[in-house]
Amino acid sequence: MDQIIRIGTTRQSSDAMRMTDAAVRAFQSSLREGITELEMAGTMAAAVEAVSDKADGEIGMSPPNILFGERTKLPHGYPMQHPIKKNEPAFLEVGASKHGYFAGLVRCAVLGRHSETESLHALAEEVIEAVVAAIKPGATAGAVDAAGREVLNRSGRDGVFRQRTGYQTGINWTERGDLSLEPNAEDILKSGMTLHMPNILCSENGYLFGTGAHVLVTERGAEILSSIPSNLYRA
């Protein structure tokens, strides 16, 4: 029975991530000077609708966090009639769902150049790579969290990270247990779990920026569900 549940969970999470990826690709391909956060949200919703199997039911996209420019300093923010300008950052956290299983993803971009957030994103990429490499059955949640913090400590910028590394996901965000990737957590990772790691860092001037991963724990380690690279998108 456990194996059947894991197969079902994996299939639903993978299908949800396929829709999340469609939303992220729409975000990246549509990023241009003058587009507003609300316009971007509409474009992303249309992209998810286009790849959804309408006959399958119970599919959708949760309201995304889309923030442009100075608004990327907000911890959470729903889209507004706020346009992006040249040489500004863009933040996205989005998650589509299928049959109650959500697959979330953090992806960021820069329109032109923005050195402060570009530097922050480079560090976030190193952190998420270390975190994903540490995930395997039998590892503790605290050890996974520590792998990312070690990268931050070596960089001398450990103060830019002010949250837990991630958490277990499951149906409807609630029936998932309470496993949290945080310091000294003793919960043991098991094959079949899905984990969301939104690695969002805070710059010296308050920009919130980064990248993330949503993975399936397998006997071989972490299987990254998204096909979208974790590197910074430049438009």
pLDDT in tens, 26-42: 999 999 999 999 999 99
The pLDDT of 187-206, averaged and rounded, is 95
pLDDT at 199: 96
pLDDT at 234: 98
pLDDT in tens, 152-177: 999 999 899 989 999 998 776 555 56
Assess whether pLDDT exceeds 80 at residue 141.
Answer: yes
Close Cβ partners of 153 (under 8 Å, ≥ 6 residues apart): none
The pLDDT of 196-203, averaged and rounded, is 96
Tracing tokens 């103060």 back to the chain, one arrives at 159
pLDDT in tens, 184-195: 999 999 998 999
What are the structural domains, with CATH classification, of the chain?
2-234 (3.90.230.10)
pLDDT at 3: 42
The pLDDT of 90-109, averaged and rounded, is 92
For residue 75, count other CB atoms closer than 10 A to its CB: 11
The pLDDT of 11-17, averaged and rounded, is 82
The pLDDT of 142-154, averaged and rounded, is 97
Residue type at 170 in one-letter notation: G
* CA–CA dist 79, 76 (Å, integer): 10
* CA–CA dist 7, 112 (Å, integer): 43
Mapped to the 3 state alphabet, what secondary structure does 61-81 carry? Answer: ECCCEEEEHHHHHCCCCCCCC
pLDDT at 10: 65
pTM for the predicted model, two decimal places: 0.91
Q: How confident is the model at residue 54 (pLDDT cuts 50, 70, 90)?
A: low
Q: For the chain, what's the residue count?
A: 235
Assess whether pLDDT exceeds 60 at residue 5.
Answer: no
